[in-house]
Structure 1
Amino acid sequence: MTHPAIAVWNIRGFNNPDKVFCCKNLIRDHNLDILCLLENRISHHNLSDPWFNMTHTVFDNENSYNNFQLSSSGRIWIKWNSGNITFKHVFSSDQMITGTIVYGTQPPFLLSVIYASNTFEGRSLLWDDIRKVDPGNNLPWVVMGDFNCCRFQNEKIGGTQIAASRLAPFNSLVFDVNLTDVPSSGNFFTWYNQRLDQPIYSKLDRILSNDKWFDVFPSSSYNVLNSLISDHCPLILKTNIERRNNQRFMYKNYWSKNPEFWESLISVFALPSVGNPIISLYDKLHQLKVIIKGKNWNSFNSIKLKCDELSSQQLKIQMMPTHDLISPHQFSLLIADMIYLFLFSLQ
């Protein structure tokens, strides 16, 4: 099954026309159905202005929901294509919006969009609110956004090291409501302080989901794009569907005897790994598969063609006059080639 393509992005101000333009490009390039914008810095009164609404519309058939009345900084604004999506609001706070999404004939799921407080105490209120909306395992649930904190110490480089005690509340929440990090690719760090003298990188933005989500959407993953015009990176959540071939692709033992196979393998795995190690490994294996499928030695057909060629040569030799036979050395090489290929075909 598939879910709609969803993006979440801490845009750091949505008044700038350039940022509106970037969001439209993001929707077009990734065929998005839902865009969740964080830290909009828009007053609730702006939404009553028809001109403002028109210039800040990013979908052709747009509908939206926000928590601007609960926060003076316009923290969360969810926009979606109403031609494909139905959104039913469930819960709102100044740090979260949760609603049920219906997408075509697919099962409904719960979406929670987060823009956490930058204070330790403020986030404690958010953790309690997330526990309140937890559907258990009765409904697929995805939680995404800017959590303004990390889960592990290796998710920050530069600045002061994060104390383990500051990580505990977030990890306790994840454990309590049985959430798991969705596999990701692309950039590992999602925030950069944009300073050259004392740079700091952190993984503040992420996407988590419950077991029911993975049961219904097992191939779901997200990509962390470049930050573009914000200090945060946009996250794109999609269902990865590979086009199936009629013939199953399988590794052949005889490839290990071919130098070209090793050259292809080394060229792919010599590339640097980016993002989630498992997703990076999958990407490299996929690249290797594409390269192999383009080679003329990738299947037993190449052996068959060689055998057909040798059989043709054998037939010519057999029909030659006795006095015109090839030398014993040439004949021995021909037989050796045929035996070698025959043994390969049995592997």
Structure 2
Amino acid sequence: MVSWNVRGLNDFQKRLVVRNLLREWKCDVICLQETKIASIDRQLVCSIWGCLYVDWVALDADQTAGGVLIMWDRRVLEKLEVLDELVGIQQYWNIHWCCFGDFNIVRFPSERRGASRLTPAMEKFSEFIEDLNLIDLSLEGGSYTWSSGTNQPSMSRIDRALVSHDWKQHFQDVTQWILPRSVLDHFPILLEAGGMARGKSPFRFENMWLKSDGFVDRVDS
């Protein structure tokens, strides 16, 4: 899967760049953010990823901000038996969660170039991740996912993947990579999984258990 804040897809030349990179990466699921397109149709989807075996869902936007386009190869998702989860199960709490994209916030000072202190916004973001019991996957291939592109650029890691524990147990060898940046200020993020896990999952201790009343006494007994 690839997540990428493209900062607008109205320009034909930019769509051509995006299309060529998607062909090179050969991903099964693509999430493009900030499309800035009011209405996305099949013709536009085909111009970005091709028409063969592609399905999509889009959140429309205006020409200045917003908009999300998710595209996927239906053959792969049907094989993995996760298509229903992607396109709209009503019981959201019963599915495996993978939330990835541009969160526009960092967790730690080390994720923003030149930052030296932990801010309240950083603390709230970490609390959000902990409260939902999500895993913040480590990033391979670089430290930052956004750069201003100036001579002394501002840089930060504001793009990331957050997954639930059952999602991570469902797939093997999950790795999050930073891909080379092209004409945009955001680096694409690749989430790669080796395949679905089979058999019994290994035991893993969850830090959230420590917050449960009586947990320590139960372990002691």
Bin the TM-score by the shorter chain.
0.7 to 0.9
Matched residue, 2:109: 153
Letter in 2 for 1:185: E
**Which structure 1 segments of 5+ residues have no match?**
1-5, 86-102, 113-132, 242-347
TM-score (norm. length: structure 1): 0.49
CA distance in 2, matches of 1:109, 1:219: 23
Percent identity between the two aligned chains = 26
Structure 1 residues 191 and 58, CA gap change in structure 2 (3 angstroms):
farther
Matched residue, 2:149: 194
The answer to which structure has the higher helix fraction is: 1
Matched residue, 1:14: 9
**Which structure 2 segments of 5+ residues have no match?**
196-221
Which fold has the larger relative contact order, with Cα–Cα distance below 8 Å and residues 6 or more apart in sequence? 2
CA distance in 2, matches of 1:157, 1:189: 8
SS at match of 2:172: coil
* Offset at residue 41 of structure 1 (A): 1.5
Instruction: Judge conservation of contact 1:11–1:40 (CA < 8 Å) in 2.
Output: yes
CA distance in 2, matches of 1:13, 1:69: 10
Mapping for residues 252-263 of structure 1, pairs under 5 Å: none
Instruction: Judge conservation of contact 1:226–1:233 (CA < 8 Å) in 2.
Output: yes
CA distance in 1, matches of 2:14, 2:144: 21
Root-mean-square deviation (CA), in Å? 2.9
Aligned length: 192
Matched residue, 1:180: 135
CA distance in 2, matches of 1:77, 1:151: 26
Matched residue, 2:71: 79
Matched residue, 1:239: 193
* Offset at residue 174 of structure 1 (A): 0.3
* Offset at residue 151 of structure 1 (A): 0.7
Match of 1:104 among 67, 75, 79: 79
Matched residue, 1:322: none
Mapping for residues 108-187 of structure 1, pairs under 5 Å: 135=93, 138-158=94-114, 163-187=118-142
SS at match of 1:84: helix
Superposed CA offset, 1:217-254 (max 9, x none): 1311121012111100001111137xxxxxxxxxxxxx
Instruction: Judge conservation of contact 2:16–2:48 (CA < 8 Å) in 1.
Output: no
Superposed CA offset, 1:9-59 (max 9, x none): 001111223332233233322221111101112123xx36x7655534545
Structure 1 residues 192 and 42, CA gap change in structure 2 (3 angstroms):
same
* Offset at residue 155 of structure 1 (A): 0.2
CA distance in 1, matches of 2:84, 2:143: 27
Superposed CA offset, 1:124-174 (max 9, x none): xxxxxxxxx862xx432111000000011110004x656521212211110
2:59 is equivalent to residue 67 of structure 1: yes
Letter in 2 for 1:207: A
